[in-house]
Amino acid sequence: MPILVMKFGGTSVADLTRIRAAAAKVRAEVARGHDVIVIVSAMAGRTNELVGWVNETSPMYDAREYDAVVSSGENVTAGLMALTLQEMDVPARSWQGWQVPIRTTSAHGAARIEGIDRAAIDAKFTEGFRVAVIAGFQGLSPEGRITTLGRGGSDTTAVAFAAAFEAIRCDIYTDVDGIYTTDPRISARARKLERISFEEMLELASLGAKVLQTRSVELAMRYKVRLRVLSSFEDTDETSGTLVCDEDEIMESKVVSGVAHSRDEAKLTLVTVEDRPGIAAAIFGPLAEAGVNVDMIVQNISEEAQGQDPREVTDMTFSCPTDQVARAQKALEAARDRGEIKYDKLEVDTEVSKVSVVGIGMRSHAGVAARMFAALAADGVNIKVIATSEIKISVLIDRKYMELAVQALHDAFDLDKAG
């Protein structure tokens, strides 16, 4: 029988009532003729509770024991889901990550999936079981220890199973009914998309859209796993939600498909850095080693050369999440103390946000940047930094203008209208 993967997030399995509702959706797919692999998250709030217990018990915790504790939330949900399905006369069995096994790297707290052994689950399907319920977010290291995949890892688990079992589709059930052209909390005219390409979804996820985890979209794009995002709290059918698919499945795309935003960004500028070959590597190497997620980068002539030849110095500006600013400052100061870089001062602005327009139609249409900048200028929004890719244009602006900018761009590209 064809295999369908269904993933239920924490809010979808928050209590027994919601677990029963999710199980009813699984039973409906079994009735349609599918064998189903269900991936479950921990009940809403449970992972935070477990992390809190670990931190309270041992602030300098052993990462292996952290994973042993934190992964338990998914185990509870998996068992309850299997029991609920059995009560509905659906032959089901639960599996923890080590039982499959889901083989991962040894990076506790941020492991990556290296392989899934499908033999045991295939055997259960052959015996007549119709549903395998898998605890998401976890796996087994080469050393035989439980690992976790990092926040949002259940999405990655679901896509990995869909790829390994050549599933017809991977349905991600969550608390929203699909992918929207922008955040509906900001724009009342945000429109749900019927389809979006892997590349567009990857850009939106990396730029701040919280519906799908970035790693799961990367994996889906690599293995051509068709994803569908839909609501756990509504009646659904084959046309519900938003399909994330290959570009070839989208007949005609708008120039811009969506507007994304990231509220908590920071802009850092190294003033009067010596302009020489290798300076960028000397700056961004230590930042990478410190785990700073650098995004937008701009290099320009320094206005504060103060007697120095302006051809020999430059200003280097980049952005990163606000919660990584202290780490970035420490890494740059350490590099200066070691004599690897020289700069007069480090300017930090933590009151900025990133707003981006995304669309595969940009590849074949000119004038998108001009239209974007004109829309922002019309509303008095000043641009601090610009970054572009083949299907994305991002700008850094003052945070107080973020919602205004999102709405202005949504209107400028007529994203409330289909076609």
Please state the separation of Cα 276 from the chain's center in Å.
36
What residues does 358 pair with on adjacent strands?
A: 258, 392
Domain ranges in the chain?
3-175
Helix (H) or strand (E) holding 24: helix 16-31
333 assigned binding-site residue: no
Q: Is 367 annotated as a binding residue?
A: no
CB neighbour burial string for 94-110, b if at least 16 within 10 angstroms, e if fewer: bbbbbebbbbbeeebbe
* d(C-alpha 386, C-alpha 296), whole Å: 7
State the fold for domain 3-175: Carbamate kinase (3.40.1160)
Residue ranges of the chain with per-residue pLDDT less than 70: 208-209, 252, 302-311, 419
| pLDDT for the residue 312 | 77
The reported pLDDT for the residue numbered 311 is 60
Is 175 assigned to a binding site? yes
47 labeled binding residue:
yes
* Residue 10, annotated as binding a ligand: yes
Residue 310 CA: distances (Å) to CA of 85, 140, 275, 352: 71, 55, 9, 28
What pLDDT shows up at residue 176?
86
The answer to whether 285 is a known ligand-binding residue is no
210 among annotated binding-site residues:
yes
Q: Is 318 annotated as a binding residue?
A: no
> Does residue 7 have a known ligand-binding role?
yes
Q: Do the beta carbons of residue 100 and residue 58 sit within 8 Å?
A: no
Q: Can you give the pLDDT at residue 209?
A: 66
Lookup result for tokens 């990655």 = 156
